[in-house]
Structure 1
Amino acid sequence: MHYNVPTGNNLYYDLTMQKFNWDSGLLLSYRACPKTAVDYQQLLDANDMDGVEAALMERIESEPENIPFFLPAYKAFVKRRECDRAGAFLQLHIDCLEGKDELLPETQLLREILEIWPDCRQAHNKLLDHLRTIYCESPNLELFSRHLNIYETVAGIEPLRQLELWLRYDTNRIVYIPSKGAARVKETNPKIGVIRIVFGKGEQMTLRLDEAFRLAKSLSKEHFLTIKFDRPDELGFLAKSDPAGLLKLLFSSISDSIPLSELRDMLLGIIPETQWNSWWNLARKDPRLTVGSGAKAVVSWNATASGADSAILDIFEHASGYEKLDIYRKHASRSVELEGSMSRLLISEANASLDPDTSFSLEVILTLEKSSCNQDPALFFSPEDIIKRKNPVEVITHIKDRLIRKKAIGLIPDLHDDWQDIYAEFLRTETDIQIIGLIYDTLHDRGCAEICTEAIKRTISEPVYAPGFYLWFCKQTAIRPEFKQYLDKDFILPLLGIMEHSAFKGHHPALRKLFDSGEAADWAVVKLDAASGRSLLDALRRDKSLEDYRKERIRDELLVRFPEFRDKADVLYVTKEALEKKRIEFEKLIHEDIPHNTKEIQRTREYGDLRENFEYHAARHKQEMLSSRAKTLHDQLNTARIIDPSTVDISKVSVGTSILLRPADKDEEPVTLTILGPWDSDPAKNIMSYSSVAGALLLNAKPGDEVTFSEKKYFVDNIEVWNNLTM
């Protein structure tokens, strides 16, 4: 990628920058010149330096960029200490290269000269001139140069390379760290060899210079992310007025395609997160843009729409069979020509795959049924041919596209007399919830209810027999009243046993929701007898997969239904108002905070590498805190009892009383205290918890008794029921 940086009338600067590749730098990437045989080797062997120079002069004007040809001569000049000859020829060589506007060969030549002649000030100064020209806007150019003693000492290429490194990470330069984003260099300190960078949200990071070079890519002035930092309003206007123009500008800074997730991160802040979907749906319509498929879709930009089609077709031709189908579905609508080319290649591959991969061939023909292109060559078969003479379950199950699989299953009743048995087998093997519903309803509506009943009973007793059908059945229990009859001990005990089974990987959250209020588990609990209830209670104690608050809710329902199961528990005394506040907090945790954070975990998981995904780990940590708080509240709410003023015992200090304490020291003031529970405690208002150390010491004291409060002696003067209105 070449960058044109406007700098007024400085013609030398303009020409240098036009030839400069920012990504590789001037001295940062280096590949040694290959050793080659030269036709003046005999002159070198004969120590004929005049003859060597004459040979060089014959080639210097025609091909000065052929550096390997000239290097043996330079080495010989230096080795024989003919530095004046070497210096004079080097100046001529540089003049010829500059006459051809050849910056890269000139840089290569000067690097090689400093490798074989480390104290060549001529090469040193020329490279330094280039660096000063390229990085003339770097604020610390002189500071870095003095720190490295660049002006006084000539010591090969390394000091100049170090200078360029510092210049690329100078103050205010924008850098990019994958998975972290763009940041601005805030401070440089060459004395200790570190830089400090600041990300957009204020996060700071300190890096050694070598770490920065390895981890943080330095960006040019015209890079998209630099413009985003320095001139965000311009990009915001462009995003609204010309979405494709914004993408074109972005891709001008990128040498290759990038994942869609990275593209979105680069546009974050320019496109508001709430507007991303609508903006992207509009922007992606530009025919010059190509977007891959799948969870890790890759995006690229092409100069023209036809160029994009050619790029897609090239990828298509080198893809596997199923990858071809994905590309066809995604891009066939771009143009008739592209659709035709892909269709013909798919048909040829389907014909060749009929025996080794019948499922692929069937998926191709059903995918191309609505294609408007001339299908030449013709297919050797029809979908009906395959479904009739092959095992339809074996063939159709391996079709990857859900809609195509659904279409193929719909053909079976008209082609097989034993379609009921085939559909029953599909209930066992199918994984897509919508297709399972179609199969079940077709069987039920066509008079095969007994097959449906048998499938339900078998699956309930043995969920791993038909995992997809089991999941479908569980979800349908909330909307199909006829399924409630199956929700009993035979349902709930196996359900608890499969919560972490590998056959249901990815569906465990949905299964856990069946234990929420009003869901399938509640319907099963009301049908349990004492023996089954005891079995479920024991299973809940042993279970390690269901969240504690869900287990406790089912446990509480069992204790209500079977009071004999209840253990004696400590009672938590509370006022009505405190109880209501805690209930509201608990409901918010269960129905708002935990579900919202669950979505946040799912969202941040998509950011990539979980080992360095800080947002994901923060969300997981928050989930643990929320779940722990929910369990604590749940346990406390179960043991909470409202203090009834009519039952408060005022013959002694007890929960729900207000007491007047008369000081033993007549110089002290009397104290009025209220004894309530921990949820109502407010020491600033002299409301003490009966479970606190101070409150516990006062309990059971009677009028006239001596008590200790705040390390002072008092006498209980009066006891009465607390006045709720004064709280």
Structure 2
Amino acid sequence: MDAELEKLVEAGKLSSKAAGQLEKLKPGTFCLHKSWGFGRVREWNLLFNQVVIDFTNKKSHPMQTEYAAENLTPLAPEHFLARKATDLASIKNLARENPTALVRNILESLDGKATAQQISEWLFGDVFTEAEWKRWWESTKKALKASGAFSLPAKKTDPIQIRGEGVSHADELIAAFNKARQPKQQITALEQIIKFHEQFKEPEKQLQPIIVTVENTAARNQKIHPELAFELIMGRDDLLARVPRVHTTHIGLTLSKLILEEEHRLISILPKLPAAKEKRILQALPSALGPNWTERALGLMQGSHGRMVAQIPRILNEAGQHAELRTTLERSVREHSATSEMLAWLCNERESWSELVTPDLLGAIFSALEREQHNAPGRASKLHRTLVEDRQLLGDILRNGDVGLARDVMRRLQLSPLFDELTKRSLLARIVKVHPELESMITGSQAEEKAAPLIVSWSSLEKRKAEYEELVKTKIPENSREIALARSYGDLSENFEFKAAKQMQSVLLRRKAELEQMLHNARGTSFENPDTSRVSIGTIVTLRNAETNMEEAYTILGAWDGDPDRRIISYQTAIGQALLGHEIGETVSLNTEHGTAQFTIASIQPATPDRTPAPSPPSESAVEAVIAK
């Protein structure tokens, strides 16, 4: 031990353990600190009980000897950071000439393993630029794999390790598979075996047990977790195709047989699979199901999620089944039975299906959106986003239709609860762009033909009146004051506050005009004493599904009374219109999320009357008075 250190120990100023550690941290020694990183011992100043360190970003930093002994890790001269600090040129040369040796040095300096991120941190900046690092690392990874001396993980975040003596990559892959306890883990390990199948020198001995395990696991999981069985069998087939020297031990366990046995569960199985594997099963439908495959594929399309809806048409077209696909699409659009996923796909692919882009498509879209709002209120679907965000869609649909159809669409939009007011105005403007003669329907500049009266509850009428009162007495005056204040700031061309206030003024005035029109047409009622001999406004209708025999009840109320959570629907909805006028025992066809279904009217009961007092009839309504002004 250094004589000066011995004196400090004898004087009780330094522990023997700390002195032993400082013996390894003599001036000139490289070291690491957990916070300040790489450094080099500059000098000992034992008179002041200090060690001075030159850290990369903290030169001549003094430390108390005891603290330095406890917190500094001495680095051997062969440590990568020490080599880089003393001879950067040789490190750069090693990176060019022998990249695997460089990586080995880094891994050995990090206890035998390091992630790609850790390696890059030690090389980036002084050895490589960012662009140089990316090119170098891509080629180096190939060299590491080829050397067989390194274990490269499947995940980027897992560490690269120096492989032990006598352990090959193939051995590691087999060990990883055997270590897997869950089917999903086995699938991941199997995919790695397939990827590196050429590294197995004795496939019969090394891979045949893998085949046996995969098939047994698939057979065990088919009933409870069929999606895992599908993945395992597809993985097995991939391995058999790449390594002909191994063979199946379950002759009857094939992908086609799995599809046939699980045909009726495919609609729930396929969404659980990765997209590529889902596509592979769909492509196998013809060989598995024979002549019935087209019908089954179309059925899957009509009841499945968006990814499958996009996959199936491609497969049908590739198989020459375009006519069958077109017939199905035409019928589902015409009957308003198409799912929102199908319609969203059709809208996005409309250039290839221009013959279906008609006003009927828009009717199907509204029906699907109404079903969605009823089943999952408050959730914006892909179809809803497509209609709102695709600014050309409405124009494409209505371009070849007559103005009467466009007018009907605008009225339906104006009364629809599917969209907020700003979105509704945007959609209406797109229709006007195609049919400018309908502009008066949103500007109110011309008198439209008399609209049909709206039957509403007294309570909903009062809510609309309250909204109108707040608009006229509060919001519009406040907006006028905001405009005046913003105008006082001057320079209107660059005045954001003024522009924003004027835009809000347009919104408020449009809403005012809408409310005036709606209130003018509204006819309040309490729904007392409805006609229960047939379905009418103010009745509760119980429907029995002809196929499942299950019952569900709907309350049919006024135009503004819809409440999907309580199964209250407006008489203007598609369901309401389909039910009105029918009697007990009659059968009606309704569009559901699974297509068209038949329902029998089991009972008709009066709904609970609206107890909101009816207002006294004035000589001239407040709304009409406002309009008259």
TM-score of the aligned structures, taking structure 1 as reference length = 0.43
Using the size of structure 2 for normalisation, the TM-score is: 0.49
Report 1 or 2 for greater relative contact order, CA contacts < 8 Å, sequence distance ≥ 6: 2
Structure number with larger C-alpha Rg = 1
